[in-house]
Chain A
């Protein structure tokens, strides 16, 4: 079946512009995560939704970052007044209801390909 999709795959923005990044999770997945990955680093958590509720936004680096998931499916990450330090790959991941496995409860996260944002 279809995996997690993200659009656009690449975005170039001039410093000060607003951008909106879209994530389409796997159909029926309850949990949705956003991560930011700087060049040469591992992904870093930004925010988490369970259905339409944003349960954790502790990783958002500033109040210029805003995420929403109004109907509990598609999510948008918005960055206002972009700065050069916002240049990174933005990854979205979704997770279904917990799966009981032989190794306990699994919360496997499925990642999209990411959106590479370059702020010039």
Chain B
């Protein structure tokens, strides 16, 4: 699976949009971009995934650049409950494959 690079930490004011970047310059054509988050003392939680089109669900939006070498996870109105470590993962779809986590981005949402 392709390696990803994320900033170690970010801050965001409550109610504002949180934009979390991820670089995956060596991504292959059959690899998807997945985002998980891990709230303190809990297991990771799936957020969203995409291949090349922008995606949106009830939790977040995922913007993938046209060359697919980077992506941004957007939490449109961050709340204190969104404080967590966010992991960007690239993996081949079509298999029940393992997740390869990096060190992620620690997002701190503040009042």
Contact = CB atoms under 8 A, between A and B. Distances in A.
A109 B91 CA distance: 13
B98 A107 contact: no
Given A91-B43, A93-B43, A45 B98 contact: yes
B29 interface: no
Interface residues of B, number: 26
A98 B96 contact: yes
Interface in B55-111: 55, 85, 87, 93-104
A103 B50 contact: yes
B3 to A, nearest CB: 12
A50 B43 contact: no
Interface in A81-120: 91, 93, 95, 98, 103-114
Interface size class of A (residues with CB under 8 A): 20 to 34
Contacts of B104: 42
B43 A111 contact: yes
Given A103-B55, A104-B32, A113 B99 contact: no
A59 interface: yes
Interface centre among B43, B53, B102, B103 (most CB of A within 10 A): B43
A31 B96 contact: yes
Contacts of A59: 98
Interface of A: 4, 30-31, 33, 35, 40-45, 48, 50, 56, 59, 91, 93, 95, 98, 103-114
Interface of B: 32, 41-46, 49-51, 53, 55, 85, 87, 93-104
